[in-house]
């Protein structure tokens, strides 16, 4: 996908979260991983986030899925775009697009949104709060990028879409299949299909807001606080004015808050579970999980572990040990199991060595991950 001379270190230094970059890519080597009809089929499934944006002369119309096949049989003459979120969770070939972007930490990677547009279709000039790589999969799309936006940037009045009231492009490119455009957060951009059958794959990156972190971290802390943990002042002395909240009282009250909020180790453990939690409220656990003995036999025969494309893996270090987080669950790992945990978090497909296969602790961990649906057995050669 990236050209052979693409320098990831230079990209991170010069472009990441700084400025857009056009990357001419695959050409004849590019293979579009998803048929438009299959994308339309996904848009009709319950639990799949799908939208259609239709462009009219005066405004933009937004519809939410799921969509019946008849919606695409007679789509109308106005330019329209179908957008389907998290397609990588359902289509392994789309999930494979993420692999070249592993130079960014896994916890920052969100999902792959896929769009299909007719001639002139798009979602209008806008800006995102996250980094995105826009990969042209099929057909052609004209991209324009503009200046940096923020919370004060004027938007068009619309109940559902955050479109720019004014957009002045500074650069413009037409992307062919295999080409991609990197757009940092806050940069205005607009993509319009040039011809029919235009498909774009958007690899987005997670960027939690300060408000999101504070809110969810505090909610987590509140769940663990008891009502008997109260302010106390056993050394209370006389003060000149009973109406004053004295400085030492403020200091004690403030310490009650900050001592809890500033527990870095507790925050790290919470964030590992928080950021690895499934995007959607789903249960992937197996009704008939494979027994540890059968699992060991399969792995000893060379069968690989294949990660569920929708699963999230991450870990943090605590001295020589690690805490592995998988789909919101945490696992304490030390010694050789810590090394295994790092390997599990780094790759989508893994063939275990003899030491891991013969380790009861390793088989126990893997059995748990297989049972909860985070890993499966890859029976392919």
Set out the domains of the chain in order of their start, with CATH numbers.
8-205 (2.60.120.650), 209-233+242-262 (no CATH), 292-378 (3.40.366.30)
Reply yes or no: is the peptide bond before residue 344 cis, omega within 30 of 0: no
- Distance set, CA 115 to CA 119, 134, 226, 316 (Å): 13, 10, 48, 35
Q: Per the structure block, which two tokens stand in for 23?
A: 């990357």
Which residues partner with 180 through β-bridges?
A: 23, 135
Residues with Cβ < 8 Å from 58, sequence gap 6 or more? none
Reply yes or no: is the peptide bond before residue 66 cis, omega within 30 of 0: yes
Farthest CA pair distance, the chain: 84
Sign of the four-CA dihedral 164, 166, 171, 174:
positive
The pairs formed by 66-70 with CB atoms below 8 angstroms and a separation of 24 or more are: 67/40, 67/43, 68/44, 69/40, 69/44
Q: What is the pLDDT along the chain (381 residues), one digit of tens a residue?
A: 788 889 999 999 999 999 999 999 866 689 999 999 999 999 999 989 999 999 888 889 999 999 999 888 877 789 999 999 999 999 999 999 999 999 999 999 999 999 999 999 999 999 999 999 999 999 999 999 999 999 999 999 988 899 999 999 999 999 999 999 999 999 999 999 999 999 999 999 999 999 999 999 999 999 999 888 999 999 898 999 999 999 999 999 999 999 999 999 999 999 999 999 987 766 677 767 788 899 999 999 999 999 999 999 999 999 999 999 999 999 999 999 999 999 999 999 999 999 999 999 999 999 999 999 999 888 654
- Integer Cα distance of 313 and 277 in angstroms: 9
- Integer Cα distance of 334 and 327 in angstroms: 20
| Start-to-end Cα distance in the chain | 24
Q: Evaluate whether 188 touches 113 at the Cβ level (below 8 Å).
A: no
Q: Per the structure block, which two tokens stand in for 245?
A: 């909240």
């Amino acid at each position: 996908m990236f050209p052979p001379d693409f320098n990831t270190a230079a990209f991170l230094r010069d472009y990441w979260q700084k400025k857009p970059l056009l990357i001419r890519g695959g050409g004849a080597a590019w293979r579009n991983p998803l048929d438009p009809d299959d994308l339309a089929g996904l848009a009709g499934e319950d639990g799949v986030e799908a939208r259609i944006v239709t462009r009219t002369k005066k405004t933009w119309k937004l519809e939410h899925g799921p969509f019946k096949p008849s919606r695409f049989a007679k789509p109308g003459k106005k330019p329209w775009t179908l957008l389907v979120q998290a397609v990588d969770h359902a289509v392994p070939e789309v999930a494979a697009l993420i692999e070249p972007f592993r130079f960014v930490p896994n916890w920052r990677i969100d999902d792959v949104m896929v769009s299909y547009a007719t001639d002139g279709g798009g979602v209008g000039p806008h800006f995102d709060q996250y980094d995105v790589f826009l990969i042209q999969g099929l057909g052609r799309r004209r991209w324009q990028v503009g200046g940096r936006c923020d919370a004060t940037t004027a938007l068009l009045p619309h109940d559902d879409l955050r479109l720019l009231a004014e957009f002045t492009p500074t650069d413009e490119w037409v992307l062919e299949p295999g080409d991609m455009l990197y757009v940092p957060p806050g940069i205005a951009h607009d993509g319009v299909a040039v011809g029919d059958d235009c498909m774009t794959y958007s690899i987005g990156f997670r960027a939690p807001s300060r408000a999101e972190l504070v809110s969810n971290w505090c909610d987590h802390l509140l769940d663990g606080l008891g009502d008997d943990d109260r302010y106390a002042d056993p050394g209370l002395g006389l003060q000149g004015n009973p109406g004053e909240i004295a400085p030492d009282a403020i200091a004690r009250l403030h310490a009650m808050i900050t001592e809890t909020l500033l527990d870095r180790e507790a925050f790290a453990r919470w964030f590992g579970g928080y950021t690895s939690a499934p995007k959607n409220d789903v249960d992937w656990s197996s009704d008939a999980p494979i027994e540890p003995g059968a699992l060991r036999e399969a792995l000893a025969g060379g069968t690989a572990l294949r990660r569920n494309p929708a699963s999230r893996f991450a870990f943090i270090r605590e001295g020589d040990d690690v805490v592995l987080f998988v789909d919101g669950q945490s696992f304490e790992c030390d010694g050789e199991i810590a090394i295994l945990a790092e390997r599990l978090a780094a790759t989508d497909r893994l063939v275990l060595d003899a030491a891991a296969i013969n380790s009861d602790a390793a088989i126990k961990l893997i059995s748990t991950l297989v049972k909860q649906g985070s890993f499966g057995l890859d029976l392919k050669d």
